[in-house]
Amino acid sequence: MLNSKLLTCFLAVVTHRTLTAAADHLCITQPALSKSLRRLEDELGVPLFLRTPTGMVLTAYGSTLAHRARLIQLEAQRAHDEIVLMKDGGVGTLTVGAGPLWSVHVLPDVIAELSRTHASLRVRVVPGVLSTLLPQLLRGEVDVLCAALDFPDHDDIEKEYLIDSSHVFLAHASHPLAGLAHVSAADLSRCKFVGPHNDYAVLDRMKQFFALRGLDSPGFAAEADSLELVLSLVATGEFVATQSHQVLTHARQLGIDTLAMDEGIWTFRGGLARLKRPVPLPVVDLFRHSLMRHLDLAARAL
């Protein structure tokens, strides 16, 4: 069993890069810190740092430990916070990473329901795309992720498939392509696209879509950090976008609808992703059951 005090010393050096700065941060002497590091390395039987003139550099062993040690510290802090909350009659906290479609599809209703049925539950939603949300999940900064699941399998991540989604091309009624009976890929290649910031998955699929038709991808002329802003930009009539068909109900309220295309750029499986744990977090199970119930209601309404 790794000693938590040794891990604290180790992470201080990882953060501050020098023994002097780390020792000052911990309010201990440098020899005491060096002794703690040697003890940890002796316990593991591997070197954790390379001592260089410019500071302490992690070895491959050290990098592995740093990732796990941060998770241990984060989980310990969350356990403390949740127990304090439970003592006061609460049920815990939940941080949800949400891909674009989930921000308008089902998730708002799920959070509203949980707020009604568990008044002390604290929920934080972190919007983003896979390239930003997956690292946060692996660092333990979000408890559960609602997103597309077609990313490579990871030893630490458990996926649960819940829905199918297809990307469609969207434009406002005032856009020149909105009135056409058929829109070609060449028509689209001349358009200004807007999309979520850092959405490399969609950019890559756009590139493939246009390349297969002998065209250059227009990429994103504008990027936004939220789906709401993406749709607001489309509503100006200046941009088109490609988004999951589940956002259509919301988009149509802004005068946005699908373009007359034969196909979109992407069909994918969506659902939940979370870190593998021996015992699931009760608050995540609570969220999962509510999400599945609202997905079933949405499917029945179609």
C-beta of residue 272 within 8 angstroms of C-beta of residue 292: no
258 and 175, same domain (yes or no): yes
158 shares its domain with 275: yes
Terminal C-alpha separation, the chain: 53
Per the structure, the complete domain to which residue 192 belongs is given by 165-264
Same domain, 205 and 278: no
**How many CA atoms, within 13 angstroms, populate the side-chain half-sphere of residue 222?**
17
Q: Could you tell me if 206 and 260 lie in one domain?
A: yes
Q: Residue-wise over 209-232: b if at least 16 C-beta within 10 A, else e?
A: bbeeeebebbebebbbeebeebbe
Identify the band that residue 78 occupies on the pLDDT scale cut at 50, 70 and 90.
Answer: low
pLDDT at 282: 81
Same domain, 169 and 156: no
CATH number for the domain including 217?
A: 3.40.190.10
Give the count of domains, the chain: 3
Q: Does residue 93 sit in the same domain as residue 144?
A: yes
Give the pLDDT of residue 213: 95
Both tokens assigned to 280 = 């699931």
Buried b (16+ CB within 10 A) or exposed e, 126-155: ebbbbebbbeebeebebbbbbbbbeeeeee
pLDDT higher than threshold 60 for residue 91: no
Model pTM score:
0.71
Final residue of a structural domain among 60, 77, 94: 77
Identity of the amino acid at 214: G
What residues contact residue 39 under an 8 Å CB cut-off, 6+ apart? Answer: 6
Which of the four pLDDT bands, split at 50, 70 and 90, describes residue 294? very high
Domain end marker among 77, 101, 128:
77
Amino acid letter, residue 219: G
Query: Mean pLDDT for the chain?
Result: 90
What CATH number is given to the structural domain containing 44?
1.10.10.10
Do 183 and 214 fall into the same domain?
A: yes
Do 16 and 68 have their domain in common?
yes
H-only helix segments in the chain: 4-16, 19-26, 30-44, 60-87, 107-117, 130-138, 185-189, 200-211, 227-234, 248-252, 282-301
Same structural domain for residues 154 and 175? no
Angstrom CA distances, 104 to 90, 101, 176, 228, stand at 27, 6, 26, 9
What is the percentage of the chain residues whose pLDDT exceeds 90?
60
Q: What is the pLDDT of residues 113-138, one digit of tens each?
A: 999 988 878 899 999 999 999 999 99
Q: pLDDT at position 7, please?
A: 85
Q: Same domain, yes or no, for 152 and 279?
A: yes
Pick from 36, 51, 77: which residue ends a domain?
77
Write the pLDDT tens digit of every residue in 148-198: 998 999 988 999 999 999 999 999 999 999 989 999 999 999 999 999 999
- Rounded distance between C-alpha atoms, residue 132 and residue 23, angstroms: 33
**14 pLDDT more than 70:** yes
Clarify whether residues 180 and 200 are in a common domain. yes
| 140 and 278 within one domain | yes
* 203 or 281, higher pLDDT: 203
